[in-house]
Amino acid sequence: MIQFLRPALLFLLFLVAGFCSFLPLHAQNADYDSLRYADETHLRNIRQLTFGGDNAEAYWSYDGKKLVFQRTSIKDGIPCDQIFVGTVPVSPSEPFTYTMVSTGKGRTTCAFFTFDNKHIIYASTHLANEACPPVPDRAKYGNKYIWPLYKSYDIFMSDLNGKIIKQLTHSPFYDAEATLSPDGKKMIYTSTKDGDIELYIMELATGKETRITTTLGYDGGAWFSPDGKKIIWRASRPQTPEQVAEYKELLAQDLVAPTNMEVWVANADGSHARQVTQYGQANWAPVFMPDSKRIIFASNHEYKRGFPFNLYVINEDGTNLQKISRDKGFDAFPMFSPNGKKIVFASNRNNGGTRDTNVFVADWVE
């Protein structure tokens, strides 16, 4: 939501790093543990669900039966992200099939199931223009990785047939990166409507909302803990005059450079905010684990060149960091199933040397 250093970052980093690391491409009935790297002791029976294109931000339904994710595939006529829903296979012989549930217009991002498992929320630019919005010319910014904060993004609720039943945000600013509380009653999301990139919580029944962050910097990709008592998100905190000036200059152009982010947590109302990680570079896509105490997140902090990205687990107080994935490419966007037994994530492993990012599901082993 954008929970993401978007998969496009992977493409840029490939160009910078000048290499591709991959496993041999397997069919859908592959030996799943052949997709597991050495030392990935917490992952078992890894299964690749999508094959080809950019597939990311796959998140479970509340009943654990479905996944919603965003997908770009030029060869399939999907020039920029659209939202898809698929049923999670329950047997090795069952394929993963999925259907588009967004409008197919504009660009979409950050989808999430509602509590009834019959609807989703997601952000879309389709009301402003049916075409994909333009991407930033990064050459103007020294080829730095830049995210666009499209003002045309608003958040919508749709049924699983793609019918939009409600528009949840209406500001003429960036509104996106939404997830819901464990009881499905509250939505936390990111907006630029007050002049900075801040977090807001909305009560879905009434539309009443509260701004819960106030510090200068990017606050986004927020989630509630499984017990509903806390929130977690990624944040940048420009400190020096030069950093502040650069941040404000980009923000004035509806842009942000999300290359220095850390994991933050707070109480569910935004109080008692505290920084968990202090590793530098990009520490992002954080979610609480099923115990609502430990955190899993993606990071490139071990590599000065900014690549690869792997998954890590850490205690809420910032202790006991453990490396979970061992990919030499890109692993991110983790989410545990409601029963805590499985994890879904996006990865460019097993992509045949392409730049594809796909969705994977695995059994979690403590």
**pLDDT for the residue numbered 205:** 96
Share of the chain above pLDDT 90, in %: 87
Structural element, H or E, at residue 43: strand 43-48
Per-residue pLDDT averaged across 240-251, rounded?
97
Residue 331 lies in a domain: yes
Residue 26 lies in a domain: yes
**pLDDT for the residue numbered 32:** 72
**pLDDT for the residue numbered 20:** 31
Residue 208 lies in a domain: yes
Measured distance CA(241)–CA(247) in Å, rounded: 10
Per-residue pLDDT averaged across 303-323, rounded?
95
Measured distance CA(213)–CA(192) in Å, rounded: 12
Residue 38 lies in a domain: yes
**pLDDT for the residue numbered 2:** 45
Residue 2 lies in a domain: no
**pLDDT for the residue numbered 19:** 31
**Residues 39-64: pLDDT tens digits?**
999 999 999 999 999 999 999 999 99
**pLDDT for the residue numbered 31:** 59
Residue 73 lies in a domain: yes
Which of the four pLDDT bands, split at 50, 70 and 90, describes residue 3?
very low
**Residues 138-189: pLDDT tens digits?**
999 988 889 999 999 999 999 999 999 999 999 999 999 999 999 999 999 9
CATH of the domain at 337: 2.120.10.30
Measured distance CA(313)–CA(70) in Å, rounded: 25
Measured distance CA(185)–CA(62) in Å, rounded: 13
Residue 1 lies in a domain: no
* Predicted confidence (pLDDT) at residue 265 exceeds the cutoff of 70: yes
Measured distance CA(297)–CA(333) in Å, rounded: 8
Per-residue pLDDT averaged across 232-259, rounded?
97
* Predicted confidence (pLDDT) at residue 349 exceeds the cutoff of 60: yes
**pLDDT for the residue numbered 304:** 86
Per-residue pLDDT averaged across 334-351, rounded?
97
Report the 10 Å Cβ neighbour count for 205.
8
- Domain holding 261, by residue range, is 7-364
* Predicted confidence (pLDDT) at residue 7 exceeds the cutoff of 70: no
**pLDDT for the residue numbered 305:** 83
The set of residues, in sequence order, having a beta carbon less than 8 Å from that of 49 and lying 6+ positions away, is: 58, 67, 86, 88, 89, 96, 358, 359, 360, 361
- The structural domain count of the chain equals 1
- Alpha-carbon distances of 143 from 10, 247, 318, rounded to whole Å: 14, 16, 32
* Predicted confidence (pLDDT) at residue 14 exceeds the cutoff of 70: no
Residue 253 lies in a domain: yes
Which of the four pLDDT bands, split at 50, 70 and 90, describes residue 33?
confident
The one-letter code for the residue type at 346 is A
